[in-house]
Amino acid sequence: MDKYQTIIKPLVTEQGTHQATLGAYSFQVHPKANKFEIKQAIESIYSVKVTDVRTSNRKGKPRRRGRIKSQTAHWKKAIVKLHEDDHIDLF
């Protein structure tokens, strides 16, 4: 899998901004990407040293539009912890 297909987008949220001050960044990643692929993609795209990768599969939320019920798409989230000397300028 290509490194630009592995990392879909960075997640810029209030909690993510707080974690970034501690050296952890959140990304939406491809659902079939594993931790090793995520680590390699982040290191090559942003030129940083990754120390830890945590992943979680997020379920889609139920939505209604009138009488029609549907659900948003499932997605995978990765929290990447960087070496103390590195940072990513996302915020």
pTM: 0.88
Instruction: Give 19-25's long-range contacts (Cβ < 8 A, gap of 24+).
Output: 19/79, 20/87, 20/88, 20/90, 20/91, 23/81, 23/82, 23/83, 23/84, 23/86, 23/87, 24/79, 24/80, 24/81, 24/82, 25/79, 25/80, 25/82, 25/88, 25/90
19: its two tokens: 């974690």
12: its two tokens: 């810029």
- pLDDT tens across 18-52, in order? 998 899 999 999 999 999 999 999 999 999 999 99
The pLDDT value recorded for residue 1 is 82
Could you tell me the pLDDT band of residue 16, with boundaries at 50, 70 and 90?
confident
**Strand pairing class (62-65; 68-71):** antiparallel
What is the set of domains in the chain, with CATH numbers? Answer: 3-61+72-82 (3.30.70.330)
Q: Tell the residue number behind the tokens 């889609």, with chain if given.
A: 60
- pLDDT tens across 56-78, in order? 999 999 999 999 999 999 999 99
